[in-house]
Chain A
Amino acid sequence: MAAYIVRRVAGAIPLLLLISAIVFSLIALAPGDPLLTMRMENPRAVSPEAIARLRAYYHLDDPLPVRYLYWLKSVLQGDWGYSSTYKVPVKDLVVSRMPNTLLLTVSAWLLGLLVALPIGIISAARKYSIFDYAVTFAAFLALSMPPVWFGFLTIMLFAVQLKWLPIGGVAELTHGTAGALLVDRIRHLILPMTVLGLVQVAYWVRYVRTSLLEVLGMDYIRTAKAKGLGEQGVLLKHALRNALIPVLTIAALDIPYFFGGAVVVETIFSWPGMGRLMYQAVIGSDYNLALCCLMLLAVLTIASNLVADVLYAVVDPRVSYS
């Protein structure tokens, strides 16, 4: 098992290098020149000579592969460069925003699972009941809902009209008791978390249902029922354990989608996280920042694929991981 994990992690390194090369070239070739933007913003302070010096300093006139190697070298030393819009080191910026995004995505992911599992299980257990049809229809509706619009509607209803929850941001209170601070954070979290989780809940409900129904049709379930075991016991003890294996895998594989969705959700709710940062970096052609965000996303995608595979091998003894 340990050898399997080590091998998978080792296999991810060349992939990561390849992706970093692709992403680096894409960003380097993208239109827009931050140095020129700097000069346009402040022509007197930034002379053409200064631009030329900076170009030389950042190796901007070297061929692309050489630039990539320079970049890789400094990144491996922990230097991601400066953000051209925020005028601070990219690393500091990302480190300060990362916790917010983790809070948002992890809670949306957990909420999604907590909602999807029971609904999917009941839907499968009461196949073709009114509940089942209602759930299927609701899932369809959720999948057709533009997330941006859903976000707006929740803001308009719960924040603007009812004033139950804040419009955006992560927190209002700067000091107070620990309890008050916690409540404040949670109040800010509720809407973005719900909007981010909605689409995945719809996918997962359908997935749990299909997976469970598939297992329920198997011979060993019929045997268990024939032995006289109760309906509920068979469902929860015998069927669910096998049905959850693919569900767990999918839930792990979907983690990157939460970070992708965070771009839109964080923008809607002014949530100072990585998603909004990436969006601002792309809009403002802030190369270093965009590169850092994208690389983090790539690492995360590869890591969640890895976790899904390992998880699959751990929970399912039938999978051989040689």
Chain B
Amino acid sequence: MSYWAGVWKRLRHHKLAVAGFAVFVALVLASAFVPLISPYGIEDMDLESLFAPPSRAHPFGTDELGHDVFVRIMYGGRISLFVGIAAATSSALLGTAIGLVSGFAGGWVDSLLMRFTDMMLSVPTIPVLLIGAMFLGSGLTNIIVILTIFGWMSTARLVRGVTLSLREQPFVEAARAAGAGTLRILVRHMLPNLIPIVIVAATLGVSSAILAESALSYLGLGIQPPTPSWGNMLQRAMDYILGAGGDWGQPWWLTVFPGLFILLAVLSVNFMGDGLRDAIDPRLVLGSQAGSGASAADERGGSTIPQAADAAGKAD
């Protein structure tokens, strides 16, 4: 049985991961194909029912212009999920590159890069994102760039740790003896062994990117209306709720549903990443030193299954 077949087998038995995967795929598909499944378009206004509570015609109600909230959330999902996936992928790539160089080069390059990584990690995220957004401005590409610049560190640390132990493996020595150059060793011999942990890091990165996008958009520095994103829908909704100042008759659905979808997306990705981490189990490929670069920061990943968390803790 190949390594990936084993991963797949273990993953299939992780019920929460399978459920998370199903929910996430459903969210992606629903937001991709929303024009096909909903009778309303994104700009369609139902002027008969502004601020209409959830009903049969509008399951999640309507907003101040009579837009169907469900449709807006699905279109918002296109943006939020895309930002999450794109930012996580590029952070993972950047982190892998930095971690690989750091771990393989060693010496002053390693200490310089790791000091820099530690510095970036110790700075609180939101103020730094604020500065980044101020600098680059808002907009889809800029958000992804900002989230990448401030999102690569944990992957870099992880990759460095594994690279350090891989570097000492006999197969690397064998490759070198056979005359392989540094680049070839990095790309052909190290990288394939790093893929599993990078996939886990990237998966968990999707959830933190979605959360960061929602916070940035709430602060008005993310995706700008009228393009809906989950974050900016929340922001606009709260203006109406606090503006009304009345009772529970307020458009609570404008807040509850977009947030629920953020929670759903983040939770499903976290379950998925958690299951993947357990299924991939780097110790099977790399030996027991695998997590040597791990520290308190990695502990933050957490695990839904206490036993799995303990096993992961012991590997560190």
Contact partners of A214 in chain B: CB under 8 A: 313
B-side interface residues, number (CB < 8 Å) = 54
**Bound-complex Cα distance A31 to B138 (A):** 12
Q: B55 at the A/B interface (Cβ < 8 Å)?
A: no
Q: A127 at the A/B interface (Cβ < 8 Å)?
A: yes
Q: B226 at the A/B interface (Cβ < 8 Å)?
A: no
Contact partners of B307 in chain A: CB under 8 A: 128
Indicate if the CB atoms of A140 and B267 lie closer than 8 Å: yes
**Given the interface contacts A26-B131, A148-B234, A264-B126, does A156 sit within 8 Å of B267 by beta carbon?**
no
Indicate if the CB atoms of B135 and A141 lie closer than 8 Å: no
Binds A, one of B25-33, B157-165, B251-259: B251-259
Task: Please give me the residue from chain B that is nearest to A132 by CB atom.
Answer: B306
Q: A279 at the A/B interface (Cβ < 8 Å)?
A: yes
Task: Please give me the residue from chain A that is nearest to B121 by CB atom.
Answer: A253
Partner of B247, one of A160, A203, A268: A160
Task: Please give me the residue from chain A that is nearest to B137 by CB atom.
Answer: A31
Contact partners of B284 in chain A: CB under 8 A: none
Task: Please give me the residue from chain A that is nearest to B207 by CB atom.
Answer: A144
Indicate if the CB atoms of A301 and B304 lie closer than 8 Å: no
Partner of A257, one of B124, B220, B247, B270: B124
Indicate if the CB atoms of B219 and A213 lie closer than 8 Å: no
Task: Please give me the residue from chain B that is nearest to A207 by CB atom.
Answer: B299
Binds A, one of B42-50, B70-78, B85-93, B210-218: B210-218
The B-contacting residues of A in range 188-244, CB under 8 angstroms, are 202-203, 206-207, 209-210, 213-214
Indicate if the CB atoms of B259 and A149 lie closer than 8 Å: yes
**Bound-complex Cα distance A118 to B303 (A):** 20
**Bound-complex Cα distance A162 to B316 (A):** 47
Q: Main secondary structure on chain B at its contact with chain A?
A: helix
A-side interface residues, number (CB < 8 Å) = 59
Q: A146 at the A/B interface (Cβ < 8 Å)?
A: yes
**Bound-complex Cα distance A267 to B221 (A):** 13
**Bound-complex Cα distance A279 to B126 (A):** 10
Indicate if the CB atoms of B270 and A156 lie closer than 8 Å: no
Contact partners of A249 in chain B: CB under 8 A: 296
Indicate if the CB atoms of B248 and A161 lie closer than 8 Å: yes
The A-contacting residues of B in range 115-155, CB under 8 angstroms, are 122-128, 130-131, 133-135, 137
Indicate if the CB atoms of B259 and A144 lie closer than 8 Å: no
**Bound-complex Cα distance A244 to B137 (A):** 43
**Given the interface contacts A146-B211, A206-B302, does A282 sit within 8 Å of B255 by beta carbon?**
no
Contact partners of B258 in chain A: CB under 8 A: 149
Partner of A160, one of B218, B221, B235, B248: B248
Q: A4 at the A/B interface (Cβ < 8 Å)?
A: no
Q: Separation in Å of the A125 CB from the closest CB of chain B?
A: 13
**Bound-complex Cα distance A143 to B303 (A):** 11
Partner of B259, one of A136, A146, A155, A297: A146
Indicate if the CB atoms of A167 and B242 lie closer than 8 Å: yes
Contact partners of A132 in chain B: CB under 8 A: 306
Contact partners of B207 in chain A: CB under 8 A: 144
Partner of A153, one of B122, B259, B266, B302: B259
11 contacts between A and B (CB under 8 A): A139-B302, A144-B263, A145-B266, A161-B247, A202-B302, A203-B302, A206-B300, A256-B124, A257-B125, A264-B218, A282-B133
